[in-house]
Amino acid sequence: MSSTPASAPEQGTLAKGKLGTFDIVFFVVSAAAPLTVAVSSAPLAFLVGGIGAPGAMLASGVVLILFAIGFTAMSRYVRNTGAFYAYAAAGLGKPVGVGVAFVTIVAYAFLCFCFYALLGFYANLTFAHLFGIDLPWGVWSIVSVLIIGFLGYRRIDVGAKVLAVLLTAEISILLIIGVAVVIQNGGGIVAATAASFNPANVFFAGGASALFVFGFGAFLGFEGTVIYAEEAKDPSRTVPRATYIAIAFLGIFYAFTFWVLTLAFGPNGVIELANSKHAEDMQFLAGEHALGAWAGVVMQVLIVTSFFACTLAFHNACSRYLFSLGRERLLPAPLARTHPRMQSPYLASITLSVICLIAMILAIVSGQDPFLGIGLWSYAIGVAGLVFAQGVAAISVIGFFWKDRRGYSVWHVVVAPVLGAVGLLAAFVVIATHFDLVSGVEGPINQGMLACVPIIFVGGIVVGLVMKRRAPARYAALTQSVTVLPAEELEVV
């Protein structure tokens, strides 16, 4: 049963029943940005981790499926657009919920900074090369902030339609290239498969741990399925379906696109290419060899739209977290207002757009490089924060079902969540110990950036504990907007 915090007139309600299963899938898969992963992460994964990169992508997906088993079971009982906050509060207590909420909102914000900068960077390259329009990267980034801010201001299903078109285009080109490579290089399938998915190359090679840095980073945003629970049609079914579909699709799709590269260039050839000066062109070369020069041109355009879709998806997710924390009075209450007609979290969306606009202007004025100067380090903080939050959420699932399995089997709400939590926390440790691979820099600055995650988490817990002692009424009001349904109201499937 849910209740509403005291100053309800200042709050609003998100648009209910607007998103179906595949609408949510489009948001989640767009956030993962499959084309950008194929273009930018694949060469680095082969370079530092070796030929087992396709298998690592598949293995990362398996870990996340284990997490999703308990995650989606809990989504049937706990519904709130501040997903990790609601899960941690329900499973581990309100102070932990506050801590993970702060980590998540900071991680999402840094990822928005990253993707706006990279969007401007690739738009500058593409438009200058193909159309002769040579505008500074900052112009493209600022224009993107304004367009995405406009879409975030509107109804959620408008953004879903935009993402559906953009995502379909980027996935289609990669599938077309993949099929063409398979047809042309069919004789090498056995060798490519044996090398790519051999456990010795995936789990026990010298760079195996580095592979999983890119593996888990490639699934960023999959947790967004539960963020849209308040706006979903039949959320008790829509959210679990969307979660499983998104994770399974990404795991298989990434494994396939990476494997295609080993088939296109050969197991040894792909490693040689990854170590050459043409490594960053790996996916473009595979497309041009298989289909002709037009494929490379299409991918240059689609990588820009892929970053646009990715940024829109993270903008929507971050603005809903701001909305949720405003509703909980952990952030200013006006963030919880929704548009009277479109029922979008418009003030949260505008606030996020203003913050991102300021960040881009500061980067431009200070002469930051969009890729190395803002893109990589903000991505590193975002990845570390989200994977950590995912691990805490997995533990929260165990805590939520510990005394009452609510009709679920031990596998669903104990064994699978434990395995998922171990995998995700191990992933965070791997990311922490190989942080330079993600950040692109070396030295003590990495420890400083990484320290943001535990400091913010502990700081949030302290805020919760202090609130409990000094403002008990306000503390008691926390999570009142979280819907926790009793087991008897749901049919366990």
Q: How many residues does the chain have?
A: 493
Q: How far is Cα 227 from Cα 423, in angstroms, rounded to an integer? A: 22
Strands 483-484, 78-79: parallel, antiparallel or unpaired by DSSP? antiparallel
How many whole angstroms separate alpha carbon 64 and alpha carbon 92?
20
Residue from 65, 81, 53, 61 nearest 394 by CA: 65
Cβ neighbour number for residue 203 with a 10 Å cutoff: 15
Containing 78, the helix (H) or strand (E) segment is strand 78-79
User: Along the 493 residues of the chain, how does pLDDT read in single tens digits?
Assistant: 344 444 443 456 776 777 888 888 888 888 888 998 898 889 989 988 899 999 999 999 999 999 889 888 887 787 666 678 888 988 999 999 999 999 999 999 999 999 999 999 999 999 999 999 999 999 999 999 999 998 887 766 666 678 788 888 999 999 999 999 999 988 889 989 999 999 999 998 888 888 888 888 888 877 778 778 778 888 888 888 999 999 999 999 999 999 999 999 999 999 999 999 888 889 999 999 999 999 989 999 999 998 998 898 889 889 988 988 888 888 898 998 887 777 788 899 999 999 999 999 999 999 999 987 888 889 889 989 999 998 998 899 999 998 888 888 999 889 999 999 999 999 899 888 888 887 878 888 889 899 999 999 999 999 999 999 998 888 888 876 555 555 444 443 3
Neighbours of 463 (CB within 10 A): 16
- Predicted model pTM: 0.86
What lies within 8 Å, CB to CB, of 58 at 6+ separation is: 197, 251, 252, 254, 255
* 338 CB neighbour count, 10 Å cutoff: 19
Residue with tokens 């044996």: 194
CB 369 within 8 A of CB 44: no
The rounded distance, in Å, linking the Cα atoms of 266 and 289 is: 14
CB contact at 8 A, 56 and 215:
yes
Q: What is the pLDDT of residue 146?
A: 95
Nearest-CA neighbor of 76 among 488, 416, 481?
Answer: 488
Tokens of 397: 């699932």
Q: What is the dihedral of CA 423, 457, 239, 79, to 10 degrees?
A: 140
Q: Which tokens hold the place of 160? A: 């879903």
pLDDT for position 59 = 94
- Answer whether CATH 1.20.1740.10 is correct for domain 10-479: yes
Residue 1: the pLDDT is: 37
Tokens of 477: 């009001």
- Helix and strand counts by DSSP (H, E) for the chain: 23, 2
Residue 3, pLDDT score: 42
CA-CA distance, 487 to 493, in Å (whole number)? Answer: 12
